[in-house]
Amino acid sequence: MRERRERTMSILQAEPRAEGPTTKQLRRMGITPMAIIEKNKGTVVLQAPERSILDALKGASALGQFKVQINGEKTPRSVILKSVDKDPVANRLLHVAVLEVSQTDVVIVEVPIHFVGTPAPVEQKEGTVLHPTTHLKVRGQIQDLPDSLEIDISGLEMNHSASVSDLTISDKLEVLTPLDATIATIAPIVVQVESEAEPTEEGAEPELVGGESERESESGGEG
């Protein structure tokens, strides 16, 4: 049960927004408009190749943190992804916004929980693992945030659970998720057996409406 951290951070090469071309024209050229929201200083309008942005996002930490190197600046800026606007039809980037941060900034984020190990009931195909909670909400400085939290659930038995309190968490972080929240539980596999339909009697003669008895009563009543 340990914290996992990202060793390297991707760097996106960007440049100030060019004057002249509209945002639609930039997108046709494969360039995506973006913005860095600075701390108490406003917004820096930038642009970068769409492919470079996608690569940077893939290389970002699980918390969406990466760096932006602006053309003309000596030091890359550390940022956290704020929003991504996409064209739902073409699946192309329309705009990306990031928030400039420093390592000592305090933020509230949801850290993903990484589960390792296979419980015996699962190996024996008698149970299945349910994950009611997959992220842990914490408050802390960016420099103290783990990329994810890892927990070994191989020792869980049938109908047993692991909760947030079972995670090993740095005392530098404030946990906002309830400590008794379940993060993994082993539930039995329910096998549904289909009931067979009751067989019908073969060769049963159809019931005759207005049969012999009715005919006899009708004939007996004549005369």
Count of structural domains, the chain: 2
Give the ranges where the chain is alpha helix by DSSP (H): 23-28, 50-58, 120-123, 212-220
* Average pLDDT score over residue span 145-168: 96
pLDDT tens digits, one per residue of 57-97:
998 887 889 999 999 999 999 999 999 999 999 899 999 99
Q: Does the predicted model carry a pTM greater than 0.85?
A: no
Looking at the structure, tell me whether residues 123 and 88 fall in a common domain.
Answer: no
| All residues at 6 or more sequence positions from 122 whose CB lies less than 8 Å from its CB, including other chains | 128, 129, 186
Distance CA 198, CA 106 (A): 68
Read off the amino acid at residue 80: I
Query: Quick check: is 203 in a domain?
Result: no
Looking at the structure, tell me whether residues 95 and 114 fall in a common domain.
Answer: no
CB atoms within 10 A of CB 31: 22
**Residue 51 confidence (pLDDT):** 97
Looking at the structure, tell me whether residues 36 and 90 fall in a common domain.
Answer: yes
Tell me which residue range forms the domain holding 180: 106-188
Return the DSSP state at 162: E
Looking at the structure, tell me whether residues 24 and 76 fall in a common domain.
Answer: yes
pLDDT tens digits, one per residue of 6-21:
447 789 999 999 888 8
Looking at the structure, tell me whether residues 78 and 132 fall in a common domain.
Answer: no
Judging by beta carbons within 10 Å of its beta carbon (0-12, 13-18, 19+), is residue 120 exposed, middle or buried?
A: middle
Nearest partner of 186 among 126, 115, 114, 113, judged by Cα: 126
Share of the chain above pLDDT 90, in %: 70
Query: Quick check: is 200 in a domain?
Result: no
Query: Quick check: is 211 in a domain?
Result: no
What does the buried/exposed string (b/e) look like for 172-185 if buried means 16 or more CB atoms within 10 Å of the residue's CB? ebebebeeeeebbb
Any idea how long the chain is? 223
